[in-house]
Amino acid sequence: MKGLFKSKPRTPADVVRQTRELLIFLDLHSGSRGGDAKREEKMAELSKNIRELKSILYGNGESEPVTEACVQLTQEFFRENTLRLLIICLPKLNLETRKDATQVVANLQRQQVSSKIVASEYLEANKDLLDTLISGYENMDIALHYGSMLRECIRHQSIARYVLESDHMKKFFDYIQLPNFDIASDASATFKELLTRHKATVAEFLSKNYDWFFSEFNSRLLSSTNYITKRQAIKLLGDMLLDRSNSAVMMRYVSSKDNLMILMNLLRDSSKNIQIEAFHVFKLFAANKNKPTEVINILVTNRSKLLRFFAGFKIDKEDEQFEADKEQVIKEISAL
Amino acid sequence: MAAGAADGAGSVGGDHHHHQARYPLDAASYRLLCKIGSGVSAVVYKAVCLPLGSAVVAIKAIDLERSRANLDEVWREAKAMALLSHRNVLRAHCSFTVGSHLWVVMPFMAAGSMHSILSHGFPDGLPEQCIAVVLRDTLRALCYLHEQGRIHRDIKAGNILVDTDGLVKLADFGVSASIYETAPATSSSSLSAFSGPIHAPSSSAAALSSSCFSDMAGTPYWMAPEVIHSHVGYGIKADIWSFGITALELAHGRPPLSHLPPSKSMLMRITSRVRLEDATAESSSSARKKKFSKAFKDMVSSCLCQEPAKRPSAEKLLRHPFFKGCRSRDYDYLVRNVLDAVPSVEERCRDSTQLCGCARGARCVSPCRHASSSSNVAKNRRISGWNFNEESFELDPTDKPPPPEQQSCFLFHHDNDDDDHNMLEHEQETNPTGGHGDDDSSGSARRRQGDNTDNGQDGKDGLSDVAVPHLVTILGSLEMQKDMVMQVLEGGGVGGGETAGRDQEREREEMLVGYVRQLEKRVQALSTEVEEEMARNAHLQELLHERACENHTDSSHTSGSR
């Protein structure tokens, strides 16, 4: 409403510039806490500006976003270090402004200026920002905001590659098991995105890092005592191994006796959901045409138990694919 | 009074929550006092948080094995609840897993839900000034949610919680969706299920006014027509419809058309208009005598406008004359005349506390774990262990667990071996047509079955006699309704006698087809529920029986593992 009475409406670039100035102020005056009237005022102004950025990018109840305005905004935003400032200052913002800021950053990852994704270029030159975002999982207050931003940033293939190849990948095994459900799940979602989104990059990562990655994956996630960790990990393992682009990795995985033992134990987990997900990986061991002797030995030794198990192994819904897979597995094992 | 205080009395956008006490993330820090509510896959407990001076909280224990929602959806709900901050919106303190359960720790709303208040003291509805106070706070919550781009999708009296001081909070974001997030599950590419804001900026504004969530959500009576035939997609105005129905629910003690089974009420709403008069006309005679102000009727009918675009926004509705009369003393009125007139939440739920499948009472760490896992076990004989011992590879495979000294080097556990047998017996008892178990177990099963018949009248196995037939009846009625709709469809004469255009006719047919599909899903879901329920009952009986056995005999075959 106020805007109606202003002599000259601000352009999207104006809003970005003002946001940036306010962020710089906030960054410099981070020491003074509370009671500072001037700071409070600037904070309120900043919140208003960030909300305005959001409504330019997403539109509001009455109007759709205007492409030209989005382009202007994006250009000005990445012309200088606005993204860096916004990420650094996020912990100082109030909850509502944090949410707005997260949505603004998310949207900007898809904005194109003369058919180029500006955000991707900016992040490539400022990769340390990803380090900051990932470390957010260690701070309960900002974990969910940084986590959302991070997932948007790794939509860019080059950025996902950076994170995959960084030491941060090891930290995810801790983050996924944080006691706080929403944060652990957020980390889990990011982890999954990293390992499934960019096929070629993922395949390359898994081949190069096979040993440490699957050793961690098996010992810390699949053998975890935490129900959620186990359930999400076995699902992700299935997604990764069943992806055509990871076939070399899959062959390597299903040729290992140790992996087979872990999967067989998951088959008899007390959770039906885990059993079913484990089956989708176990079937790959059975279907492998070049089973190593040690794998065959285990399958033969447990043949009658396995066949008895599969005879009673049903899922609630009717699922033709599942039944067909099960039949195939039974056939393979019987024929050994 | 204890509840709600810990949540702070924050206003929109305040960062008060950062200074909130940190609630511990482990089950041992809480003591469950009693059950105060339960649903299909969740139980709500009143509990105290020991390290925080025994602060009273409510804990919702969601069984992740039973819950039909996948983990991503559960996470989305938890995240939504963690990021909302408004005086009238229930916000979780924290959530963490306990076995296969998710515990969501929330403020304890001591007066319970409006639905429970209605059914425990006001079956014919509340006085208008109370309705106004409750609805105004609910609207404030809705305003906040909608401003956040969030749709609640399940507004009803059962989700409006009240504290003893009259503070109202809107709860249950089990089905809430954000228009800034791509719709889960229905999105074509499974990868995008995790992505944040809607992809193309151009489509997001359209989404703001009419988000296209095509999955079925909400509870039948409160559902807006455009949610029911979900292919149309729906937006925040669907919440306004449900709000209007909730207003009628508070006024009459139950939602309109609730004398019909849920699915039929849906059909009515699709084929004909629901008018305010319908709602009142069919109410009981005592309710019909009730006089409601013109302002109230006007407010409700504006919400129940068939066309979503014509329904007012939550913000506009808040300025409606009906809410102008609200004074702070109305809260006192609400407390004195309504909240004080109904039994406490604990008393209301006392009858049902015994129904918890877990025989260990409210203090057990993982509620109903036994009950839920039993349904799996019952269907599926568990393998006692794999043989990974390379030395024994030349020997015959064994069905017995390896000797104890070898166990330690194996990765598996041998916990419920005896349970398996017990479960099997039950399969035989409750499901005589079902297949028999393995040869090695049937011997003992038969012996045990003998014991069972000796022990027939234990008084409590009436539970399954009541619950199962009831569920079967529901299932049957649903199936009948499905057939009815099918017949109507085949006959072609939908609704009859209406002078609708051809387009409308076609549209209606589409709706009905969609409706039938939804019904089929429901029937399917219900059949699984019946199955699960039967398995649960079987397990309960087994427990009872086992206990009786332990009391009467010390025979060698009851080497139960518990």
CATH number at residue B122: 1.10.510.10
Alpha-carbon gap, residue B254 to B211, rounded angstroms: 29
Averaged over B279-304, what is the pLDDT? 70
Binary contact (A308, B383; C-beta < 8 A): yes
Burial annotation B208-226 (CB, 10 A radius, 16+ → b, else e): bbbbbbeebbbbbbbbbbb
pLDDT-based confidence at residue A106 (cuts at 50, 70, 90): very high
Rg (CA), chain A: 25
Tell me, yes or no, whether B105 and B150 share the same domain.
no
Average confidence (pLDDT) over B221-246:
64
Residue A193 has pLDDT above 90, yes or no: yes
Binding site residues of B for ATP, as ranges? Answer: 60
Shared-domain flag, residues A75 and A189 = yes
Give the domain-ending residue among B301, B326, B343: B343
pLDDT, mean over chain A: 92
Residue A246 sits in the same domain as residue A140: no
Judged by CB atoms within 8 Å, which residues 315-374 of B form the interface with A?
373
CB distance B15–A272 less than 8 Å?
Answer: no
Give the range among A231-240, A251-260, B276-285, B465-474 with minimum mean pLDDT. B276-285
Query: Where does a domain end: A143, A169, A197?
Result: A197
Does A161 fall in a domain? yes
Which burial class, exposed, middle or buried, applies to B556 when counting CB atoms under 10 A from its CB (0-12, 13-18, 19+)? exposed
Domain termination residue (choose one: B301, B322, B343): B343
Asked if the Cβ–Cβ distance from B71 to A185 is below 8 Å, we say yes
Q: Is the distance from CB of B106 to CB of B58 less than 8 angstroms?
A: yes
Judgement on whether residues A139 and A233 belong to the same structural domain of the protein: no
**Structure token digits, residue B338:** 């309504």
Q: Which residue of B has its CA nearest to A310?
A: B380
A202 lies in a domain? no
| Residue type at position B511 | M
Query: How many whole angstroms separate alpha carbon B453 and alpha carbon B333?
Result: 58
Structure tokens at A33: 């806490």
pLDDT for res B479: 60
Q: B497: pLDDT confidence band, cut at 50, 70 and 90? A: very low
**Residue B379 at interface with chain A, using a CB cutoff of 8 Å:** yes
Helix (H) or strand (E) holding B407: helix B404-407
Q: Does one domain contain both A172 and A272?
A: no
- B457 in any annotated domain: no
Same-domain pairing of B479 and B333: no
Question: Based on the domain organization, do B251 and B155 belong to the same domain?
Answer: yes
The verdict on A163 and A74 lying in the same domain is yes
Is A250 domain-assigned? Answer: yes
Residues B334, B223 within the same domain:
yes
CB contact under 8 A, A223 and B95: no
User: Which domain-ending residue is among A168, A197, A226?
Assistant: A197
Q: Residue B525: what pLDDT?
A: 74
Please tell me whether residues B169 and B244 are part of one structural domain.
yes
Q: Is the domain of A240 the same as that of A164?
A: no
- The domain tally of chain A equals 2
Calculate the average pLDDT of chain B.
64
- Sheet containing B94-98: order of strands: B30-38, B42-49, B55-63, B101-107, B94-98
Residue B231 lies in a domain: yes
Domain count within chain B: 2
Q: Please check whether residue B142 lies inside any domain of the structure.
A: yes
Residues 286-325 of B with CB under 8 A from A: 313
**What's the pLDDT tens digit per position in B115-137?**
888 988 888 889 888 899 999 99
Q: Let me know: does B74 contact B102? Beta carbons within 8 Å.
A: yes
Residue A91 structure tokens: 């912990």
User: How many CA atoms within 13 Å lie on the side-chain side of A305?
Assistant: 22
Q: Is the dihedral of CA B376, B378, B380, B382 positive or negative?
A: positive
3-state secondary structure of A242: coil
- The continuous run of DSSP H or E covering B162 comes out as strand B160-162
| Eight-class DSSP state of B89 | B
- Co-location of B43 and B68 in the same domain: yes
Q: Could you tell me what percent of chain B has a pLDDT over 70? A: 47
Residue B261 and residue B173 in one domain: yes
Instruction: Identify the closest residue of chain B to A185 by CA–CA distance.
Output: B75
A172, A235: one domain: no
- pLDDT tier at B260 (50, 70, 90 boundaries)? low
Of the residues B7, B63, B137, B154, only one is catalytic, namely: B154
Q: Cβ B95–A106 below 8 Å, yes or no?
A: no
- Residues A15 and A56 sit within 8 Å (Cβ to Cβ): yes
Of the residues B25, B87, B97, the best mutation for testing chain A's interface (the one with the most A CB atoms within 10 Å of its CB) is B97
What's the CA gap between B172 and B108, in Å, rounded? 14
Residues A190, A233: one domain? no
Answer whether residue B434 is part of any domain. Answer: no
Burial of B453 per CB tally in 10 Å (0-12, 13-18, 19+): exposed
Cβ–Cβ below 8 Å for A297 and B393: yes
Q: How far apart are CA B393 and CA B225, in angstroms?
A: 64
Tell me, yes or no, whether B84 and B229 share the same domain: no
B242 and B151, same domain (yes or no): yes
Is residue B473, in this structure, part of any structural domain at all?
A: yes
Residues B101 and B116 in one domain: no
Do residue B202 and residue A64 have CB atoms under 8 angstroms apart?
yes
Mutate one of A57, A60, A72, A182 to test the B interface: name it (highest B CB count within 10 A).
A182
Verify whether the Cβ–Cβ distance A271 to B15 is below 8 Å: no
Q: Could you tell me if residue B448 is inside a domain?
A: no
Residue A133 in any domain: the answer is yes
How many other C-beta atoms can be found within 10 angstroms of the C-beta atom of residue B91? Answer: 22
* Residues across chain B: 562
Does residue A184 sit in the same domain as residue A283? no
B394-439: per-residue pLDDT in tens? 333 334 433 433 333 333 333 333 333 333 333 333 333 333 333 3
Question: Cα angle vertex B185, ends B183, B191, to 5°?
Answer: 85
- Asked if A251 and A291 touch (Cβ cutoff 8 Å), the reply is no
Eight-state DSSP code of residue A11? P
Amino acid making up residue B75: W
Which DSSP string corresponds to B209-231? HS----S--S-GGG--HHHHSGG
Answer whether B79 touches A (CB < 8 Å). yes
Out of A162-171, B83-92, B391-400, pick the least confident: B391-400
pLDDT single digits (tens) A143-164: 999 999 999 999 999 999 999 9
Looking at the structure, do residues B82 and B122 belong to the same domain, yes or no? no
The Cα diameter of chain A in Å comes to 85
Distance CA B362, CA B355 (A): 11
pLDDT of residue B32: 95
B428 found inside a domain: no
Q: Is residue A31 part of a domain?
A: no
Give me the residues of B, 411-440, that contact A with CB < 8 A. Answer: 411-412, 416, 438
φ, ψ for residue B44, nearest 5 deg: -110, 130
CATH number of the domain encompassing residue A222: 1.25.10.10
Q: Which residue has the tokens 């070629």?
A: A200
pLDDT at residue B423, as a whole number: 34
Mean pLDDT confidence for A185-198: 96
Same-domain check for residues A228 and A270:
yes
- Name the token pair of B469: 């037939």
DSSP string, A242-307: TSGGGHHHHHHHTT-HHHHHHHHHHHT-S-HHHHHHHHHHHHHHHH-TT--HHHHHHHHHTHHHHH
- What CATH number does the domain containing B471 carry? 3.30.200.20
- Which residues does chain B have within 8 Å of residue A186's beta carbon, measured at their own beta carbons? 75, 79
> Any catalytic annotation for residue B154?
yes
The CA-atom distances, in angstroms, between B370 and each of A312, B429, B452 are 20, 19, 20
Indicate if the pLDDT at residue B558 is higher than 50.
no
pLDDT band at B290 (very low <50, low <70, confident <90, very high): low
Q: Does B68 touch chain A (CB under 8 A)?
A: no
DSSP classification of residue B338: I
Distance CA A131, CA A129 (A): 5
Do A229 and A180 have their domain in common? Answer: no
**Are B117 and B37 contained in the same domain?**
no
A30: closest CA of chain B, how far (Å): 16
CA-nearest of B252, B331, B245, B263 to B287 is B252
Across the interface, of A70, A95, A264, the residue whose CB is closest to B386 is A264
pLDDT level of residue B193 (50, 70, 90 thresholds): very low
What is the C-alpha separation between A97 and A202, in angstroms, rounded? 34
Flag whether the pTM goes above 0.80.
Answer: no
B25-41 mean pLDDT: 89
Identify the H or E element spanning B471: helix B462-491
Judge whether A253 lies within some domain. yes
Residues A76 and A174 in one domain: yes
User: Does residue B211 lie in a domain region?
Assistant: no
- Domain, as residue range, for A156: 69-110+119-197
Q: Per the domain annotation, does A3 fall within a domain?
A: no
Mean pLDDT for A229-249 is 96
Residue A20 domain flag: no
For B7-11, what is the mean pLDDT?
35
**Of A197, A231, A251, which residue is a domain's last?**
A197
Domain that holds residue B33: 27-110+466-487+507-551
